[in-house]
Amino acid sequence: MKALFSGIQPTGDIHIGNYFGAIANWVRIQHDYTSFFSIVDLHAITIPYETAEMPRRVMELATALYACGLDLDKTILFVQSEVPGHADLTWIFNTITPLGELERMTQFKDKREQFRATVNVGLLDYPVLQAADILIYKGEVVPVGQDQVQHVEFTREVARHFNSRFGDTFPECEALLTTTPKVLGLDGDAKMSKSRGNTIGVLETPEQIWAKLAPAKTDPARVRRTDPGTPEKCTIWSYHLLVTPEAERAEVHTGCTTAGIGCIDCKKKLHRNLMAVLDPIRNRYADLAGRKPQVRDRLEANAEHCRKVAGDTILEVKGRMGLNRIWKI
């Protein structure tokens, strides 16, 4: 069975962009591969963060991922910093990665502008750590959105550099594109993002979510209730595509284009269908939050397994590079 790796940062509460863009896909494919899913806290510390908040965020994210449907008993979910091999392999890859390849990465250019006052080497080196995350488990499949394909290709290049110099060691991984490439934020202007404050939280209450949906942007052509609209120009319609059954979705589309329903009616239908997806997750989260020791024990057992797998890879890599233990000479 092919190995799969994917990670998510503990940067705050998960939103429906995270869920439909990545996590739901993880849940769907988790048993189709030897899956390694990681809470990538080493990536999270490349930008300013509150040290006291990090442990809580990691634990809450792990609980939320299990609530979303990751198999608590069978699927490997672990905390990145609990496996030292990730950092070890990153340094090794640093020694074979051309600087120019890192400087061309789109994400570094974006982050450099966003965090100009605190830009650090970690931001530049971020893709090398990502490559190490994947290759330390000999990952062959990486589920990503379209905006992360460049990082998968970079990982393939790192594998090629290493294999060319030291012999075949790593596979050239392939991107497994998500079926939901981008979820728009409530502002309708950009991808849903915590930094933009345009999110719908997966664990928010029905009342909190309605308070966000009610004033959300719709098709600007619908100034009056009797004005027909174009659903494809409406952010609310993009959410219907995620959660509303096909037959009801057809009714919503017709109702909008003929002014048969108003925007508030459309939003109420969306709210009902969205809560049908999110209510079970929120309930499972409440249950798992009351079983914190079980979740913590599972994370530790998974980390121990990953340390063994990663350790074997590091020994193989060092052997190929001539970094053998002195008593083996």
**Nearest to residue 126, comparing CAs of 105, 98, 156?**
105
* Torsion angles phi and psi, residue 171, rounded to 5: -75, 160
Q: Is 267 tagged catalytic? A: no
Q: Output the DSSP codes for 89-139.
A: HHHHHHTTS-HHHHHT-HHHHHHHHHTGGG--HHHHHHHHHHHHHHHTTT-
Q: Is 292 tagged catalytic? A: no
Q: Is 74 tagged catalytic? A: no
Contact 2, 137 (CB under 8 A): no
Rounded to whole angstroms, how far apart are CA atoms 313 and 327? 20
Contact 293, 57 (CB under 8 A): no
Q: Give me the catalytic one of 194, 217, 268, 318.
A: 194
Q: Give me the catalytic one of 2, 74, 138, 191.
A: 191
Q: Give me the catalytic one of 111, 138, 267, 269.
A: 111
Rounded to whole angstroms, how far apart are CA atoms 204 and 209? 6
Rounded to whole angstroms, how far apart are CA atoms 329 and 324? 7
Q: Which residues are catalytic?
A: 111, 191, 194
